[in-house]
Chains A and B, each alone.
Chain A
Amino acid sequence: GQNIDQPTEMTATEGAIVQINCTYQTSGFNGLFWYQQHAGEAPTFLSYNVLDGLEEKGRFSSFLSRSKGYSYLLLKELQMKDSASYLCAVRPFTGTASKLTFGTGTRLQVTL
């Protein structure tokens, strides 16, 4: 089975840096995704990690440690528009492509 844990809520100040952690226990692993979801909207893709290390994309970076079953999403220079839920999702390993299993999401509130 799959078990994905991430904090329920976080608050940070505009202009600051915030790190959202995700730990997972899965029967197999073939990649970890981060999605952003604004209230009432569709989730949108942020990042993908399959190998250990840091992937940087503008203000957003994502880190993966497969041996620890751990990932984090780092958001720099926070803006008010970054207030959203951030979903960690794992793709289990199968012979063919398959579903993503999502965590419950971390609701980030950016304040002035």
Chain B
Amino acid sequence: GAGVSQTPSNKVTEKGKYVELRCDPISGHTALYWYRQSLGQGPEFLIYFQGTGAADDSGLPNDRFFAVRPEGSVSTLKIQRTERGDSAVYLCASSLDGANTGELFFGEGSRLTVL
């Protein structure tokens, strides 16, 4: 596609439920990032993929969070046993090859609300 696409745009769930958030990066971009943004804050890094592998998952807050990118394109962020504190906008970004000068292109985000 022309830009980074994220689905769903909005997700409301109940505490304890499982959710999946999907990211479709710009075609040809090998680097993919997940960030989380709370109201009035900057994006907070979660995980970075180079191709199919997670090159840096140091930002995942705990073992309830997991992300995959099995074919090196689309990625899914999975959150188990959701908690109210997980409510935020989850942003996905991609870059051409993860090179140091490469800018990140962000999607519109998936707004998660945990009731």
Contact = CB atoms under 8 A, between A and B. Distances in A.
Nearest to B58: A99
Interface string B86-115: 000001000101111111111111000000
Contacts of B107: 42
Contact of A100 (B40, B45, B97, B109): B45
A48 B106 contact: no
Contact of A42 (B33, B91, B101, B102): B91
B45 A42 contact: no
Q: State the main secondary structure of chain B at its contact with A.
A: loop
A98 B44 CA distance: 14
Interface residues of A, number: 24
B100 A30 contact: yes
A4 B50 CA distance: 26
A42 B108 contact: yes
Contacts of A31: 100-101
Interface residues of B, number: 30
B62 interface: no
A45 B40 contact: no
A87 B105 contact: no
Contacts of B48: 98-99
Contacts of B31: 97
B94 to A, nearest CB: 12
Contacts of A60: none
B56 interface: yes
Interface of B: 4, 31, 33, 35, 40-45, 48, 50, 55-56, 59, 91, 95, 97-109
